[in-house]
Amino acid sequence: MNDNDSVNEVIATLRPDTLTEDAHRRRRSADLARAFQTPRVPQHTRRIFMSQRRPLYLIAGMAVAGLAAAAIIVPQVVSGGSSPSAVTASGASSSVSDGVTSGNVEISTGTKIGNTRTILLAAAKVAAEEPAGSGNVWYSRVRTAQLVRVAPGEYAAEIKKLHKEQEAKKEELKGKPDELNAAMKEFDKKIYQLKTTRLPYAASLSETTDTWRSLNGTDGRRVPNQDVKVSFATPADEANWKRAGSPRLSDDASGRIEEDLPNSVVSIANPSLTWSNLSELPTDKQGLKTRLESLYAKSSAKDDKKLADYMWQTGADLLTAPITPGTRAALYQVLADSASGLKSQTGVTDALGRTGVALDTTGPDDAGEPGRITYRLIFDPKTGKGLELDVLEAGTATPLLQQTFETTGYVDDLGDTPK
């Protein structure tokens, strides 16, 4: 069976009702209806593909796209609430060899539908069939759940204490630069330990952010910290939190409206790729591949990431952004040709219960143990659009990060929502 036959089989299996114009219209209506159901940004110590989302960490500016680069969450409300939905999957993972998945992925019915390359090529085909959107502004509503790494009040008290000790040490070692330098390094170690020492309980902080970005580079708006909730992985975790004195796990910053940077970047690793020039990306595979390779050559990512990793990370950012159907189709084709290390699963559900296809890649944990952290993109096989970005740790039920794109679409003005 050739690529085209395999792709058509995948399409027929994953989206049997999408081959007619009437079915397409019905599906679009259902998508919009679902978008209005609901409705910070988090992280694992190795940040992932977070571009259009601003962080709640001890860093300024925008959150980062990438699998490496250390940063720590400083979460921001404390109240009970239901846990963020754990990512679940039905269907077998495929194994990866020499950049192409070997073995067939199975959906819940047990029907074999092809390997990762075939799934990506099928996604390219359905993406190309999607109608182009139009509007002056790109709107997104994103629900983010992140593992709480520090209790803000306790953390602030410890930082204040360390700062006071640091100032005293500077005064004590005036005129002794070598000793002072060594002392400052010790303080850096203490701060790092404070940031990375896990709490004796597992809690997640969830919040919703509405974002409007002008596609002509003029202005934008964000309304973060909506429906903020803290939830615990298990009753035992909540009991441990209470034993620790029930420390506040977030800061109430609800109701804040932020005027957004008009030309902020889509992907931190690609400073020249902005919301206003996304529509200029090539719509053919070779053209897009050449452009991404050019961006990679200019990116700081080239110092610590292989091209295939960069392609996947940048692709994850682009698949949740307002790229054209042609660019989306070309992107899936590029990913199919550079799928080194990727695994795919079908029948995976996101936090809203939407079923999609997951693309996974793995990396080491904070201790350097390989394969412990999974970076996941879930996309809709009916449209090719990104649904959710996750960071998962082996042996842990609660995602380190879960970013669910509840609603995305073009609108005419800031404050409008898709209709």
- Domain shared by 183 and 139, yes or no: no
Domain boundary among 196, 223, 255: 196
Q: Give the three-class secondary structure for 169.
A: helix
Residues spanned by the domain of 347: 3-148+203-411
Domain count, the chain: 2
- Domain shared by 310 and 387, yes or no: yes
Q: What is the gyration radius of the CA atoms in the chain, in angstroms?
A: 22
Phi and psi at residue 386, in whole multiples of 5°? -70, 140
Residue 258 forms part of a structural domain? yes
- Domain shared by 183 and 135, yes or no: no
Spatial CB neighbours of 110, under 8 Å, sequence gap ≥ 6: none
pLDDT in tens, the chain (419 residues): 566 655 555 555 454 443 333 444 344 334 333 332 322 333 333 334 433 333 322 222 223 233 222 223 333 323 333 333 333 333 333 222 223 333 333 333 233 345 888 899 999 999 999 998 888 999 999 999 999 988 888 888 898 999 999 999 999 998 899 999 999 999 899 888 888 788 999 999 999 999 999 888 788 899 998 999 999 999 999 999 999 999 998 876 655 777 766 667 888 888 889 888 999 999 999 999 999 999 999 988 788 778 888 888 899 899 999 999 999 999 999 999 876 678 889 999 999 999 999 999 888 887 788 889 999 999 999 889 999 999 999 988 788 999 999 999 999 999 999 98
Residue 351 contacts residue 339 (beta carbons within 8 Å): no
Strands (E), 241-372: 258-259, 265-267, 270-274, 343-349, 355-363
Phi-psi region of 226 (alpha: psi -120 to 50; beta: other; left: phi over 0): beta
- Domain shared by 83 and 98, yes or no: yes
Domain boundary among 164, 196, 228: 196
- Domain shared by 45 and 124, yes or no: yes
Residue 418 forms part of a structural domain? no
CA 49-347-34 angle, to 5 degrees, is 75
Residue 335 forms part of a structural domain? yes
- Domain shared by 60 and 161, yes or no: no
- Domain shared by 51 and 126, yes or no: yes
- Domain shared by 329 and 362, yes or no: yes
Q: Hey, what's the torsion of the CAs at 270, 274, 277, 278, to 10 degrees?
A: 70
